[in-house]
Chain A
Amino acid sequence: DTAVSQTPKYLVTQMGNDKSIKCEQNLGHDTMYWYKQDSKKFLKIMFSYNNKELIINETVPNRFSPKSPDKAHLNLHINSLELGDSAVYFCASSRQGSNYGYTFGSGTRLTVV
């Protein structure tokens, strides 16, 4: 069973479109994250979220919004996609307040054309 699963794995879309990436974890973790990985493999945290608190990296454009229907899901919605949004997006989860390890999803490669 996949612990953290993201869908889709690949997403090609045109500028200006709105898209969502889904993330689900079956580990019982209560904190989930979204990271953006650039072409140099630098990972930038976008959001961390548990059922009490949403922490947003203030450098993330407000076109990006996390949506969490329940503890096991944290979806990433992107409005008005731009070319610069092309990247690999990783979802991860951990226990709250954690000095424990993270579990990462396999990534979603987003290409905006």
Chain B
Amino acid sequence: SAVISQKPSRDICQRGTSLTIQCQVDSQVTMMFWYRQQPGQSLTLIATANQGSEATYESGFVIDKFPISRPNLTFSTLTVSNMSPEDSSIYLCSADGGIGTEAFFGQGTRLTVV
């Protein structure tokens, strides 16, 4: 199984600023994913990140707001740009070792925008 480390684990940010969340996997993975989880709610997929190509965004999420980088097979970043209080949420990084296999999750980044 893969181990995923996310940084920071939590942050409190001022509105209008940006935060970059880092996700490191201890093994090479094909696909990495970024989810948002509102407190007490389910997971909503923001985007899928492939190495060497643009991320694929789900409906309701745009690259200008959530730029993603995937420079290699073990690392990805998600930036939450021009933050507002509505962006307060838990952001989760996930990786999948292959089609139809287990998806692993990081511990999440709890973001509060004030």
Q: Does B bind A? A: no
Which residues in B have some Cβ–Cβ distance to A below 8 Å?
A: none
Which residues in A have some Cβ–Cβ distance to B below 8 Å?
A: none
